[in-house]
Structure 1
Amino acid sequence: MRGGGYNRITAIAVTPSPPRAFTIPWIHSFLTSDEDYAKAHTPKHHILRSARKEPSSDDLDMRYDVATLTFAGTIFGTIVPHVIHLDEHPRNPLSRTYTIQNRLPGQNLNKIWPELTISQKINAMHIVVHVMEKLHTIQEPKAGVIASLTRLPHSPDKVIPEIQAFNTSQGPVSASSGPADRPAEAMTTRQFLIHQSYRWKILEEDRDDGDKAPWYCFDIITQALYDKGFIPDDDKFYFCHLDLYPRNMLVEIKDESRISLTGLLDWDAQFAHFCPKFVAYRAPFWLWASGVHWYDEMIAADMPIDAEYRRLKSLWEEEASDEWKRYAYEPEYMIARRMFALLRDGIRHDGDKKEARSIVDDWQELYTDQRLATAYANDESD
């Protein structure tokens, strides 16, 4: 099956072997009904998720993924896969870390989206809104990845996530892809953004070609966001699925007007963690954008040319709260979301450097601040 950039996905079916003759299970099989016997020997369908490369010290312990997936399961129930087995031993048969999960029914929404009727697409929009609104209720005073879960002794179905800070490292992987180096601390949104910037600046000081200018600029933008009321101190951090696109949704078609959600996939810690509120309140703009624009958030507020997409956008705006639309559409929050991605993952290659400069330039178009231009000018002169 088609996998992602980090994991290979394999569908497997396990058929129980019939009992050997003249054994107790064999005798017992004659005493069971045909229906029970058939059920006991029906193939069980699973998903094998294995790492695409050999594990290294930079890789996130897959137990983080298991903890995140388990936490998501407490929120959404059976539409989230559950882990049957985790094997991290380097000498296992695959020579890779892997998990075995149950396989969920349904069709991939990404594959069938073009063929859906407008009524079915509207139904899908309502489903997406419901999923995101449910995620909006899961809040913590800390930002970071879920490292483990603590079950409450008197309520075993309820869990408390143990949150680790996003890791900052100089390796070639993203910041959330390495073992988190410290427990997360309760902070305001402004404090978190400033602290992440500080951690990256410390690393830049140890590099011969260190570039601290973007981080200083991000500090200026963060303070401006705070001073202008965009990131108030009472905002919490929200549990986000940052890859909540149709390729990670399974559905079943009920009729010409309705579909049902049967699976929410890809809860890897790389994409599912606690983020600032402005990240959680991003618009599901893929609903009214063509596939080639699904990642271009800048078109989120634009009115589509296609009548069907215009209707989907208008219906989402009718259903979404005013607060959600404000966080989704205001350019300051769009810039903040781009800035958060670099504050979380770091600036590691030329593409990241170009994005950092673009963020600063776009902010300058909104609010001219000489300090931003000076920060880059001073760095270049050094």
Structure 2
Amino acid sequence: MFEHEPFETFQVKVVELCQKEWPNLSRDSFTITRMDGGSYNRVINIQVDGSRYQASWVERQVRWFLRTFCPGMLRKTELRDYVLRIPRMEHAWVEHEVSILKFLAATSIPKPKIKTFSFSTENPIGSRYTIQPRVPGKSVIDVYSELNTQQRISFARDLGSALKEMSKIQSPSPGTLNPDSILAGSSEAQLLRLQCPPRNAFRQTNEPFVAATPQTVQEFLMSQFARQRAFDLTLNRKFLNPWKPFTAIIQHLHTLGFLNDNIYALTHMDLEPRNMLIHITSPTTATLSAILDWDETVFAPTFMNCRSPYWLWNFEESDDEPEEADANDIPEDFDLAAVKKSFEDAAGEDYCKWAYTPEYRIARDITRLAIMGIWSNMDYDEAKEILKEWNAAYPQLEVCGIFDDGEED
């Protein structure tokens, strides 16, 4: 799909990279295994056998003793797995990916760690990369349906605690971490104004980096609407203008008192089951071992970090997809209700308020589009649904459609 070099030949270059990163290990110390990557990164597993370390005579004697009398202990300490992540696109912002994980290192949020990285292509694989210790566990989306109730309760508690911890990482300004400050070892995180459109692995904007400044949530959203509208006009989207009715809704929400918390919290913009690892440790325990793919993390209005993970208590396959609007409904099934309560107790009252209040859900959907932009018919359909829901809830404050003349297609 991405016209990359086949794994069969590329793995030889990965071994050469490993020899550079672990110069005291022999070539046969590394076992390279292909992994399923994602849209943004090619992913390869590296197993490192530390027993092949070119050690001193004393170290070799200790290893011989352990290998002879305590082989189990030696095996556990000498074999380590790492993940090599290679950006698929030249526009990937690897500096931000590294800096956010370094920033998170001081928190209790489950996340991968960085062993080493390179922002240069002058290396055996000819690409920038990060190497991370491999986190135990499997993708939630692959195994959650197999968990029993106690394991689900355990995992839900972990996820609620992680989201509560994220909500405590706050800023008076919206924006994204400045990688330069983090990589330079600054003790205080500096924020950059969000780029419009946002930079990602497939797209690099020409906007210069600008330091973020404190704004009220209303001011932030109004400025984002104006910037997104200006960008839309460069694409000749003259008559498609969802930002006009969004402006009216945000003004109404502000007047109604829903946007008075002018605090911005660390927000993972793609917090889905596919980006979480679960580690089953016992018949009654399953832990959240890591949240993955922090590439698009921003500081956004606090309610943005509070989209309910309602799939925790509504994961079973059915003909009807669950809707976020129904997230606060208590499941009739006693076990599923227990999972929901476990999450909510850990996440806290404020989280539940922002997650379940319909006005915050509408504000969250609008803010996501204001940050990420509108790129597809699906995004426009989502905008229409937002306006439909608002007009049904507040007919006395009805807003126009996504066309400037107010008429629907």
Give TM-score scaled by structure 2 length.
Answer: 0.77
**Matched ranges for 1:340-351 at <5 A:** 340-351=367-378
> Which residue is 2:85 aligned to?
49
Determine the C-alpha separation between the residues in 2 that align with 1:315 and 1:41: 35
Matched, 1:66 2:98: yes
| Matched AA of 2:230 | I
Q: 1:142 touches 1:236 (CA, 8 Å); kept in 2?
A: yes
Distance in 1 separating the partners of 2:36 and 2:218: 39
- For 2:380 and 2:132, how far apart are their aligned partners in 1? 38
Whole-Å Cα distance in 2 between the matches of residues 108 and 309 of structure 1? 21
1:366–1:95 distance in 2 versus 1, CA, 3 Å = farther
CA shift for structure 1 position 380: 6.0
Offset, 1:255 = 3.0
Cα–Cα, structure 1 residues 176 and 183, in superposed 2: closer, same or farther, change >3 Å?
farther
Residue 48 of structure 2 is matched in structure 1 by 14
Structure 2 counterpart of 1:97, which letter? R
Equivalence for 1:129 = 160
Tell me which amino acid in the other structure corresponds to 1:163: L
- Distance in 1, matches of 2:87 and 2:321, equals 26
Q: Does the CA-based 8 Å contact 2:92-2:200 persist in structure 1?
A: no
* Corresponding residue for residue 139 of structure 1: 170
Retained in 2: the 8 A contact 1:288–1:304? yes
Residue 164 of structure 1 aligns with which residue?
192
What amino acid is the match of 2:307? R
SS at 2:380 equivalent = helix
Q: Superposed, which structure 2 residues align to 1:200-211 within 5 Å?
A: 200-211=228-239
Write the deviation string for residues 129-150 of structure 1: whole angstroms up to 9, x where unpaired.
Answer: 1111111111101112212264
Distance (Å, rounded) in 2 between the aligned partners of 1:165 and 1:327: 24
Q: 1:136 corresponds to which letter in structure 2? A: S
The CA distance in 2 between the partners of 1:129 and 1:170, in whole Å, is: 28
Letter in 2 for 1:130: S
Residue by residue over 1:127-171, the C-alpha shift from the partner in whole angstroms, topping out at 9 and shown as x without a partner, is: 111111111111101112212264799xx8x83222122211399
Q: How far apart in 2 are the matches of 1:316 and 1:254? A: 19
Match of 1:85 among 105, 112, 116: 116
Q: Is the 8 A contact 1:166 1:175 kept in 2?
A: no
* Alpha-carbon shift at residue 323 of structure 1 (Å): 3.0
Residue equivalent to 1:76: 108
Q: Can you give the 5+ residue segments of structure 1 that lack an aligned partner in the other structure?
A: none
How far apart, in 2, do the equivalents of 1:142 and 1:170 lie? Answer: 17
Q: One-letter code of the match for 1:6?
A: Y
Query: C-alpha displacement at 1:320, in angstroms?
Result: 4.9
Distance 2:44 2:111 in 1: 17
Given that 1:73 and 1:82 are in contact with CA atoms closer than 8 Å, whether structure 2 keeps it comes out as yes
Q: Say what the alpha-carbon RMSD is for the aligned residues.
A: 3.5
Q: Aligned pair in 2 of structure 1 residues 307, 184: CA closer, same or farther (>3 Å)?
A: same
Residue number among 282, 300, 309 corresponding to 2:307 in the alignment: 282
So what's the TM-score if we normalise by structure 1? Answer: 0.82
Matched residue count = 366
* Shift in CA distance, 18/131, structure 1 to aligned 2, threshold 3 Å: closer
Query: Which deviations, in whole Å up to 9, do the C-alpha atoms of 1:56-87 show, x marking residues without a partner?
Result: xxx3421001111111221127x422222223
SS at match of 1:266: coil
Output one character per residue of 1:351-375: Cα deviation in whole Å (capped at 9) or x when no partner: 2222222212221111136772277
Q: 1:273 aligns with which of 270, 294, 298?
A: 298
Residue matched to 2:39: 5
**Does structure 1 retain, via aligned residues, the 8 Å contact 2:102–2:182?**
no
How far 1:221 moved relative to its partner? Answer: 0.9
The answer to whether the Cα contact below 8 Å between 2:87 and 2:129 also exists between their aligned partners in 1 is yes
Match of 2:136 in 1: 105
SS of the equivalent of 1:351 reads helix
Q: Unaligned regions of 5+ residues in structure 2, if any?
A: 1-34, 68-73
> Aligned-pair distance for 1:118?
0.9
The residue type paired with residue 221 of structure 2 is L
Of the candidates 239, 242, 246, which is equivalent to residue 218 of structure 1?
246
CA contact (8 A) 1:9 1:49 kept: yes
Q: Which residue number corresponds to residue 4 of structure 2? A: none
Residues 229-254 of structure 1 deviation map (CA, whole Å, 9 limit, x = unaligned):
1110x431001223334443334434
1:170 and 1:109 map into 2 onto residues whose CA distance is 28
* SS of residue matched to 1:76: coil
Q: Is the 8 A contact 1:201 1:212 kept in 2?
A: no
